[in-house]
Structure 1
Amino acid sequence: MDNCRGILYAFGKGLLDSMRGILVLGYLDKEMNERSFGKSPVKVTQKTKDDAAIKPTKHFEESKVLKRFLQGCFLNGFIFLLSIILFNYGALPALKLLLTFLFGESSSTGMFMWNLMEWVLSRIFEVCWVIPLFFLIKVINCFWFQDIADSCFRFYRGRPQFMSSLSKLIADSLFSTLVQTLFLIQSMLVNLIPIMFVAEIACMVHICLLYSLYAFEYKWFNLGWELHRRLTFIENNWPYFIGFGMPLAILTQFTSSLYISGSIFSILFPIFIISGNEASPVTGKCDYPLRLFSPVVAISNYIFNQSIGQSSRTIQSAPVRR
C-alpha cells in the first residue's frame, strides 16, 4: 500500500512540475537579465560635459527565453500550423463549394473533379510547402530549444559542466539520438498489441517517458550525465516521469496528422524545458524499475559495435602505401 501511495504521489508531483514552466515564463527573463547585469562589473570613465558616463567593462549575455518562445509560437503556430488549417478547412471546402455550385450536388462529374483536384492539390501543398517547411522548422527549433535550455541552466546552476572529452560528448549525442529513434519505433510497435486498452496505455507510457527524456536531457547533458545514467534514472523513477510527460503526450495525441502533432509539440516543448530545469524529480518511491529502454539500448549497442568493428576491420585490411 505504501508503495502504491508513493507511486501516485510521484506521478502527481511529476504532473504538477510539468506545469511550472507556464508560471515562471513571464518573469524568468527579467530575473535572468537583472542577475546578469547585477554581476557585470562597472567602471566610471572620464566625465563628459553632461554627466559621468558609467559603462560596463563587458557586455552581459541577455536571456532569450521569452523571445525564443514567442518566435517558436509565431513560426510553428502562426506560419506553419495556421497555413495547414487554412488549406484544409478554408481553401479545400471553398473549392468543393464552388464545384458543387457549378455542377450540382449530385453530379458525378463534379464529384470526380472534386476528388481528383483534392488529391492533386493536397499532394502539391504537402510536397511544395508542408514537408520543406516542416524540416526547416525542425532545424531552427533545435537551436532555439538549446538557447532556452542554456539560459535556464545558467540561471539555476551556472556554467555547464559537459563531459570529460569531445569524443565522448559526440559519441553520447549520436548514441542518444539512435536510442531515442528506436524507442519511438518501439512505442509504435507496442501500439499494435491486439488487446483492448493495453496497446494504448503501453504506447502512452512510452511517449510520456520519451517526452520527459527530451525535456530533462538538456539539463542532464549540461550536468555531464552520460546516457546510461540518464536512462537508468528515468527507469528507476518512472512514476514521476510518466506524470511529467503526460500533459504533452496527451496534447500531441489529439490529431493523427504528424505535421499538426509536431507543430503542437514544438510550440509547447519550451515550457517543458523550463519546467525540467525548475523541477526536482521525486526519487525512491518505487521498488520496481521499468526497463523499457533496455531493448533499444541493446540494439543500439549491437549497431554501434558492428559499425565500429566493421570500421576497424576495414582499416586493418587496408594496404600500406610505401
Structure 2
Amino acid sequence: MLKQSAQLWIWGVRESLHVHRCIVFLVLDNSKALGRSILQCLLLNGGILLGSILAWEGALAPVVGWLMRNLVAPCLGALPARAAEALLHLGYQGLWLLPVYLVTMLVSCGIYNDIARTAYMVKQQQLQQQQLQQQRKGGQATAGHRPVGQSPAGGGGGGGLENVAQEVYRVVLFCVFFAEISTVGRLPYVGQALNVLLLSWLYAYYCYDYKWGLQGVHLTERLAYFERRWAFFAGFGLPMALSTVLLSFYQGAAVLAILFPVYILVSCDSDVNAVHDRIVGKAGTSSLRHLPIFALALWPTQRIVHLVTGGSGAAPAKLAAADSGGAAAARAM
C-alpha cells in the first residue's frame, strides 16, 4: 500500500507538470475564447496584482526607506522614521493592495469558470471526433469509458433547489476546511508539512471540481472519489501549494492566480482513472484505503448549514454517507 501510494503521488506530480496540454486546448479552440480568457487572467493577476506587489517592493519601498533615513530620521529621530515607514507600508497594503487583491480574486473566479467551460467543450468535441474516427474505421469505443458530457449514474441531475443547496454546502465546507488548514499550520514541528499536504488537496480539488461540476457529478460522489484517490491528488496539488507556502501571502496569491488556469486545463485533459489503473490495476480501487480528508470539516459545516437553513437542507445528510456510493462513482468519473 505504501509503495502504491508513493507511486500515485509521483504520478500526480507528473500530471500537474504536463503543461503542454494547454497548447493543445488553445490550438483546438476555434473560437479563441480560451486564449482571450487566459490573457485576461494574466493581465489581471500578473499585470495589476503582481505588478502592484513588485512596484512596492522594487521601487516604492526603497524610495520611502531612503526618504525616512535621510530626511525624516535626522529631524525627528530614527524611531519616528521607522514608525512612519511602517505606517506607509501598512497604508499601501490596506488602501491599495488589499482592495486590488479582493477585486482581482473576485473577477478571476468568473474567468476561471469561463476557462473551464470552454476547455470542457473543446475536450468533448475532441472525444466526439475520436469516436467518429473509430466508427469510420469499424472500431468501437473503449469499454467502460463514459463520454465527457454524460452524467454518471446517480449524478447531480437533481432540481434547481438541490443544486443551490449543494453549492451553498460546498462553499461552507471549503471555508471550514481552509480554516482547518490555517489552524493545523500553526502546530509545532508537523504544522508546516501538514499545511502543505492539506493545501495540495485543497488546490487539486478546486482544479478538478470544475470538470466534475460540468459533468453533473453529485457533490457526494466528488468528495468520495477524491478521498479514494487521495495519493494522486496530493501530488497533483503540490506545485500549487508550494507556490503559496514559499512566497509571501500576496506574492503567493498572485503567482497561484496566474498558474491556476494552467492547472484547470491540465485537469480537464487528465485521466485519473487511467493513472490509478496503471498503478493498482483495474480491480484495485479498494486496495488503497479511503482517507477521510474532509471528515473534520463535515460536522461544523453541517451545523453551520443547519443554523442558516433551519434544518431544511438535504445535502448534509447525503454527505454524511458520501463514501457509500464512492466506489461505484469512481469508475464512472
**TM-score (ref. length: structure 1):** 0.79
Q: In structure 2, what is the Cα distance between the partners aligned to 1:297 and 1:70?
A: 37
Q: Answer with 109-118 or 80-89: which moved more.
A: 109-118
Aligned with 1:244 (options 233, 236, 239) = 236
Aligned with 2:159 (options 159, 162, 165) = 165
Deviation at 1:23, TM superposition (A): 0.4
Q: In structure 2, what is the Cα distance between the partners aligned to 1:32 and 1:91?
A: 41
Counterpart in the other structure of 1:279? 270
- Which of structure 1's runs of 4+ aligned residues deviate more than 4 A? 158-162
1:69 aligns with 2:38: yes
Gaps of at least 5 residues in structure 2 are 126-148, 277-284, 314-333
Aligned pairs for 1:1-322 within 5 A? 3-20=1-18, 22-33=19-30, 62-102=31-71, 107=74, 109-157=76-124, 163-194=157-188, 196=189, 198-257=190-249, 259-281=250-272, 282-283=275-276, 284=285, 287-309=288-310
Q: In structure 1, what is the Cα distance between the partners aligned to 2:311 and 2:173?
A: 20
Deviation at 1:311, TM superposition (A): 7.5
Code of the residue aligned with 1:303 in structure 2: it is I
Work out whether residues 6 and 285 of structure 1, in 8 Å CA contact, stay in contact via their aligned partners in 2. no
Q: 1:299 to 1:99 in 2, by over 3 A?
A: closer
Code of the residue aligned with 2:106 in structure 1: it is V
Q: Percent identity between the aligned chains?
A: 22
Work out whether residues 99 and 110 of structure 1, in 8 Å CA contact, stay in contact via their aligned partners in 2. no
Work out whether residues 25 and 122 of structure 2, in 8 Å CA contact, stay in contact via their aligned partners in 1. no
Deviation at 1:287, TM superposition (A): 2.2
Q: Answer with 121-130 or 151-160: which moved more.
A: 151-160
Code of the residue aligned with 2:232 in structure 1: it is Y
Q: 1:299 to 1:122 in 2, by over 3 A?
A: same
Q: Choose 1 or 2 for highest CA Rg.
A: 1
Deviation at 1:108, TM superposition (A): 8.1
SS at match of 1:163: coil
Work out whether residues 29 and 122 of structure 2, in 8 Å CA contact, stay in contact via their aligned partners in 1. yes
Q: What are the superposed Cα offsets for residues 1-28 of structure 1, whole Å, 9 maximum, x if unpaired?
A: xx222112211111111122x2022342
Q: In structure 2, what is the Cα distance between the partners aligned to 1:113 and 1:85?
A: 26
Q: 1:160 to 1:71 in 2, by over 3 A?
A: farther
Q: 1:160 to 1:252 in 2, by over 3 A?
A: farther
Code of the residue aligned with 2:120 in structure 1: it is F
